[in-house]
Structure 1
Amino acid sequence: MRAIQRQQRPSRGAGATTGVLLLLAGALGSGGCADAGEEQPAPAGQVGEEAFVVATRVWDDMATNSYFHVVPSLDAGTTVDPSQALEVPESARLFAFEDEGWFGIGDGQSPTISRYTLDARDALVKGDAISLQPFGVESLWPTNYLISPTKAYHPDRAGEQIIIWNPTTMEVQGTIPLPDTAREGYLALYGYGSIQRGKTLLFSVGWFDWATSDAVLPETGLVAIDTETDTVVRFDVDDRCGGITQPVETASGDAYFVSSALAAAAYHVDRLETAPCALRILKDADAFDPDFALRLSELTDGAIAGDPIPAGGDSLFLRVFEQGLATIGEETKTFEITSQPAWHWWRWDTAANEAAPVGELAPSPANVSFFEVDGRVFTIDEKDDSTASTLIELTAEGGPKLGLTTPGYLHGVAKVR
């Protein structure tokens, strides 16, 4: 599973952000979490069936809590029973590596990752835990780059470093300092996803100032790490495009690095100099293509756009802004622009270099999560005030299809069996 929460939502207490991953929690009611060793008989027909963890978040003026539900399906009509969920305070996160059958909890109050499994009754069982606090990590981000079953990288954006840890043994193995990514007054936002070229891991760096100016630097970094030696082999900076937070690798093997919707919003209110754009790394390369830098407005009839989401094949989805649907004042923050339901869905065919609206989907906020689960891509339809969320399977045969509905803001999904 690959779940991406790509945007910060500071008004909702989400902490340090949205994509690879999120979830989980403590116990609510009688059925949420089993203690290790309390093996129970499995209900008839349950063993061997599919199981998913769905994470939601509920907040009010007093507190934020995360809830995690084990469900047999992501389809519409699936029951999501809050009394059987797990609960942890604040913005807990799921870190899941679907291909490895591994998932765990990123704590909402400390930089601690705990491994979880399902028992015979599909209750969540807590296993070993590791703390990243001794390595200077203050809080977890919803991202990990999986290198192998025994190695993952956790990008510590605030600390400008990579934490190397072993998901199998649940041990921290070291750090990779990234001092060249520092920009005074800006957060170095390491990509919510990464790509690999042989033993080289590549991820982007965008620079955002959410603390004071709400500005974005007009450049994009690219970090190249040798995953055998855990060393930085190269750090590039490209000044043709800014505000990139997410790559999408297409069926061709080429990877597209596209401006975020936050960057598009910053450009719209003159807080970013470069227009929303896309860079590319060709399938056999490990650096940005010097001959490719595309303004997204060339695809979208002049509208600003951003936030790439996999659409299958050589296509990806974009969020395209319609100014007439939004309310923007002089002091409006970029996240307040992306939070408004003023962003259309478009599909970009990178092979043909053509884009068109997805008519089946209504305009919605741009700062929603997307999830790659079991070979499918999902997003959510978020109700007013995040009181409920409905999954939308973007890559469903025949067009987008509604899935299950949960209470609260749905921020993570993982297939765990």
Structure 2
Amino acid sequence: MSRSLRHIKAFLFTLVVPCLVACGDSASDGPGGKEGEGGAGGEGNASGDLFALTTQVFGVDAADTLSYILLTDSLDRDEPLSLDSGIEILGRGIGAGPDGGRALFVASDAAPTVTRYDLGADGSLKEGATVSFQGQGLAKLDEYGGQFQFVSETKAYFFDGATAQVVIWNPKDMTVSGAIPLAELVLPEATLTFSAAPLRVGDAVISFAGWRNGPAVPSQAGIVVVDSATDEATVVTDARCGYVRDGVEAEDGMIYMATEAYGAAVHRLNPDNAAAPCLLRFDLETRKFDPDYHVELGSLFDGAAAGSLIVGSGGEAYLRVLDENAFEIKDDTHPRVLASAAAWRWASVTLGDTPTATVLDAEPTSGSVVNVPLGGKSFVLQFQGQDTTTFRELGESGPGEVSLTAPGVVFSAAKLR
């Protein structure tokens, strides 16, 4: 196995972080655990795999939106998950934690706080301490679970677009210790967002920035490399294309970055609102973009709209390509609707100096997906409107069959044990 694939396997999918509480079954509550409060029953025995999904269920009004923490001992099950035994969270919630860390950290757009839930010996979650990020200027914590990155037992990061900073906090003591400002990423009148799937390479925590300005996408790409040993960040931008929120480390050791499907949809509907979707290359050693490397994604697919560079369980790279025979584009089609339409096919990609792509024989699905690492595997979360989310493992042959179905919209999932 090449050095790059070992990095991807070791850091992106099987990052080993010391357990936030004792890993044995004797650890019933963990620090601050409240026996019987906020519990959600774990499925099956109190050992073996256990996963936590945080799903958002939308009401008629935004104020009616609730989220639920759902537990499952398997990501391969025929029966859809139910909200009946879930822990209810106000607002649009996200949940994250280190792989196998026996703790879940939950936030939402209802408050600038994070609440810790510890896994008890009986397989249920016990609500623990809450920490506020308000002192760092945050009004809420939302979007993706991947914006949380756990470095050690006592250090974690949260990449926040609204305040353009990385909040440094202690998940053991539930305290905030500081922040890393990212002023270089502030664009006037543009909304800054971060990737749902950052990378981990050695001590480096790598995230990708994207901007929206109404229905337009500014022509700017951005990468943030945080040295977790020093809490220092390197921020580098590039003006050749925009909404570059996806990236993978390839076999040549370079970081390849691509426009997300939403940015591709913006360009397809109105080329004046966005630069052509592209593939860029970043050298992690020199901390610079390759000035001679710029590949328009459409050139790989005879001009078709394409975006969203996603990594598979074994380090494979995939793109999404729009099949216009599967969706009728109208004059008033919104780019979010197009990006979410079940009209995007999967394509395998060989990265390098001269990248190539092959469209796979798989049914078209929504172009906007969330990619999460769970237990050493890569899963893509795909949405059926706002009603249902499906899980598929992304392997060497592309996306597998639907392995799990959950109600609502799932933007985050974590492996508790």
Q: Same fold (TM over 0.5)?
A: yes
1:87 aligns to what?
88
**Separation in 2 of the partners of 1:350 and 1:376?**
21
Whether 1:60 and 2:62 are equivalent positions in the alignment is no
Map 1:146-295; keep pairs closer than 5 Å: 146-195=150-199, 199-210=203-214, 214-232=215-233, 234-250=234-250, 252-268=252-268, 269-282=270-283, 284-295=285-296
Measured at CA, do residues 397 and 242 of structure 1 come closer, stay the same or move farther in structure 2, by a change above 3 Å?
Answer: closer
**Separation in 2 of the partners of 1:192 and 1:371?**
8
Map 1:22-171; keep pairs closer than 5 Å: 36-38=34-36, 46-62=45-61, 63-78=64-79, 80-98=81-99, 100-141=101-142, 142=144, 143-171=147-175
**1:111 partner SS:** strand
Measured at CA, do residues 176 and 375 of structure 1 come closer, stay the same or move farther in structure 2, by a change above 3 Å?
Answer: same
**Separation in 2 of the partners of 1:50 and 1:201?**
26
How far has the Cα of 1:325 moved from its partner?
2.9
How far has the Cα of 1:390 moved from its partner?
2.9
**Separation in 2 of the partners of 1:35 and 1:129?**
11
2:307 aligns to what?
306
**2:114 partner SS:** strand
Tell me which amino acid in the other structure corresponds to 1:243.
Y
2:387 aligns to what?
387
**Separation in 1 of the partners of 2:396 and 2:201?**
29
Measured at CA, do residues 320 and 194 of structure 1 come closer, stay the same or move farther in structure 2, by a change above 3 Å?
Answer: same
- 1:346-369 superposed Cα distances (whole Å, 9 cap, x missing partner): 11122573211221x311221232
- 1:356-389 superposed Cα distances (whole Å, 9 cap, x missing partner): 1221x31122123222111112224544x43333
How far has the Cα of 1:208 moved from its partner?
1.2
Measured at CA, do residues 300 and 99 of structure 1 come closer, stay the same or move farther in structure 2, by a change above 3 Å?
Answer: farther
**Separation in 2 of the partners of 1:201 and 1:399?**
26
**Separation in 1 of the partners of 2:170 and 2:346?**
38
**2:264 partner SS:** helix
Paired residues of 2:103 and 2:119 also in contact (CA < 8 A): no
Tell me which amino acid in the other structure corresponds to 2:248.
V
For structure 1, the residue ranges without an aligned partner over 5 or more in a row are 4-33
**1:47 partner SS:** coil
Whether 1:358 and 2:357 are equivalent positions in the alignment is no
Measured at CA, do residues 48 and 198 of structure 1 come closer, stay the same or move farther in structure 2, by a change above 3 Å?
Answer: closer
For structure 2, the residue ranges without an aligned partner over 5 or more in a row are 1-10, 14-31
Tell me which amino acid in the other structure corresponds to 1:36.
K
**Separation in 2 of the partners of 1:75 and 1:44?**
13
**Separation in 2 of the partners of 1:391 and 1:290?**
37
State TM-score, norm by structure 1: 0.81
Paired residues of 1:197 and 1:285 also in contact (CA < 8 A): no
2:341 aligns to what?
340
Measured at CA, do residues 354 and 99 of structure 1 come closer, stay the same or move farther in structure 2, by a change above 3 Å?
Answer: farther
How far has the Cα of 1:413 moved from its partner?
2.3
State TM-score, norm by structure 2: 0.81
How far has the Cα of 1:404 moved from its partner?
2.1
Paired residues of 1:2 and 1:414 also in contact (CA < 8 A): no
Most deviating of 165-174 and 146-155: 146-155
Measured at CA, do residues 344 and 67 of structure 1 come closer, stay the same or move farther in structure 2, by a change above 3 Å?
Answer: same
2:412 aligns to what?
412
**Separation in 1 of the partners of 2:409 and 2:274?**
33
- 1:237-279 superposed Cα distances (whole Å, 9 cap, x missing partner): 2122221112222455332111011111111122444211111
Measured at CA, do residues 55 and 77 of structure 1 come closer, stay the same or move farther in structure 2, by a change above 3 Å?
Answer: same
**Separation in 2 of the partners of 1:80 and 1:194?**
27
What is the aligned length?
380
2:402 aligns to what?
402
**1:183 partner SS:** coil
Tell me which amino acid in the other structure corresponds to 1:301.
D
How far has the Cα of 1:310 moved from its partner?
0.7
Tell me which amino acid in the other structure corresponds to 2:156.
A
**1:394 partner SS:** strand
**1:345 partner SS:** strand
* CA RMSD after TM alignment: 3.0
Paired residues of 2:263 and 2:274 also in contact (CA < 8 A): no
How far has the Cα of 1:49 moved from its partner?
1.7
- 1:211-233 superposed Cα distances (whole Å, 9 cap, x missing partner): xxx1111121233444444344x
Measured at CA, do residues 86 and 346 of structure 1 come closer, stay the same or move farther in structure 2, by a change above 3 Å?
Answer: same
Determine what percentage of the aligned residue pairs are the same residue: 28
1:326 aligns to what?
327
Paired residues of 1:136 and 1:159 also in contact (CA < 8 A): yes
**Separation in 1 of the partners of 2:91 and 2:225?**
33
How far has the Cα of 1:73 moved from its partner?
0.6
Measured at CA, do residues 160 and 45 of structure 1 come closer, stay the same or move farther in structure 2, by a change above 3 Å?
Answer: closer
